[in-house]
Structure 1
Amino acid sequence: MNITLIFTSYGPPGALNYSVFMISLVVYLTTVFANVTLMLVICLDTSLHKPMYIFLFNLAINGLIGSSAVLPKIMENLIDDMKDIMYADCILQVFLINVYGTCAYAILTLMAYDRYVSICKPLQYHNIMTPAKIRLLLFIVYCLPICSLAVQVYLTSRLPICRFKINKLFCDNLAVVNLSCVKNTWGDLYGICLVLVFVVLPLIFVILSYVRILFVSLNASVSAREKALKTCTPHLITFINFSLASLFSVIYNRFNISLSKEVNVFMSIHFILIPPLLHPLIYGIRTKEISNSLTRILQRKILALGFNLKTKKRCNDALFISTK
């Protein structure tokens, strides 16, 4: 469908647009750097080839998908005179944003399950969290949401449209549905089912997991409680941060609340802007294993660079002496 859609929330290029562009650019570049660094640390250090860090690696990939699906287009529209997008690109953006959101919740749920098994069933941990089971869980985490969301996006793309303006900074499923001239009853019901399966159920599972972890920790020794707190704190911060960002996004997309333009801009991009940036930073700062691994890798690289420079200098000195 060769149709161009117009975004109406940007306004003409001005001080606010350029300020948001600079903030978005800095955050996006920092997000890419932080997530790629985290992924490289996990790949290069074999001591981190454990379930928790494998899930964290996938969370970093998911964050890059979410950021890259939206932020480059937002930055382009902020400084361009024409704030438009092709209909096919809009549908693709909807799909990628939904994949980012649902898969992030699913991965965070796996991480909560890993913490539950580690703390509540420590003697059975290696028998439960086997490599085969991890691969199966990751396959389900990606395959089930992607297939389900593909159906939703297909249903949305089949709707006839009679409006061509989107009062948002980027495309989301509800915005595209609102362009249609007909009511999408089955699509709405299907969307509610997706929210229940991929948002509500994971939320309940994470809450129940941490309730169980809390009870077990209260009956454990002081050192065991401290260890549980250290291992669970990064995940809790990440999960709460992502849940709040998702809540802001739902409020912005579903309800017409009279807010200032600045607040609307923040609420619309918070879901895409903040979590992918904070997740690697939280784990990089709060997780001792990752911090130590990054330090060791940097030390090895610096030592190797110093050794190569010394070797090169010796070779140049020998060459200079031989030519005299």
Structure 2
Amino acid sequence: MTPRAYEGDYQGEKAVWLQAGGYEAVLLPEIGANLIALRDLAHGAQLLREPGAGEMTAFREKPFVHGIPVLFPPNRFENGKFPWNKATYSFPVNEEATGNHLHGFLYDQAWTVEGYGTTPQESYVTVNLRVDEAHPVYRHWPHRFTMRLRYALSADGLAQQVFIRNEGEAPMPCLFAFHTTINAPFASGSTARDCRVKLTIGERWALNERMLPTGIKQPLTAEEQALQGEGVYPFFAAMDNHYTARPQNGRNRMELTDTRVGRTLVYDVGTSYKQWMIWNNFATEGFFCPEPQVSLVNAPHVDLPAEEIGLFSLAQGEIWEESARLYMK
């Protein structure tokens, strides 16, 4: 397949389409730079959950459970408060059941397309979001910064690079995650019962009734031990669970195998992500979310060493970046 990159339409939304190496991907720059589709054309597999016909309105209202949304800052914050550097940031409480703020501010923002194109081996697109005093995000997150995403498609799958630079004077907390939404099954003709998932999890964090970590770690169940090892049916129980990451063989990854067709989707996220969040929609077959996360949920409120919970900052001009890859084997 000759690499292609072009602007087009995706269910009525402006999109950048990539094709290369038997894969196809679609990015929606004006809805949070969501990588809404990743398809293995050579094998007829749809790897990410996409909005179905008639679901685009619901997707725009709640763009967390399709594609690869950006979470910044990620997950839940107690009472919508964020203590940092002798100040307290206030976020809207948008999860009424828990009284928390959920998922940050970037998943529905319009990003700028820096460029797209091809090389002999790949197609690519780069987008950025720049926040300053004039940007609506600044009133909740009072820092000047640039975030950049680059996606490249080739015979080696989808390469993802995230870049964050602090452009303000004050130290900025660097809290980041992807709410990646994986189809299970991903292959046409298979069922969820054909799927086995493996994840490089370590220990499970105990959560209180507000879904916030208590700082205590819990022993894994037999099914979670299988998740660490030989793999397990992704919907063995309802999961809205938070784990430490424990890389295996030098890599931090999820592997989803379809035993019927004998193919595996690998999501290798990089070792900067010290935590995993796993959500499987109340054990409803169809999709689940292995969410690589830099920091512990609600980290600024947790009295544990910053290094252990992934709580760190960027000084003026400093950059954090990480790479990931989704591919079939």
- Normalising by structure 2, we get a TM-score of 0.26
Return the structure number with greater strand share: 2
Structure scoring higher RCO (CA < 8 A, sep ≥ 6) equals 1
Return the structure number with greater helix share: 1
Whose Rg is larger? 1
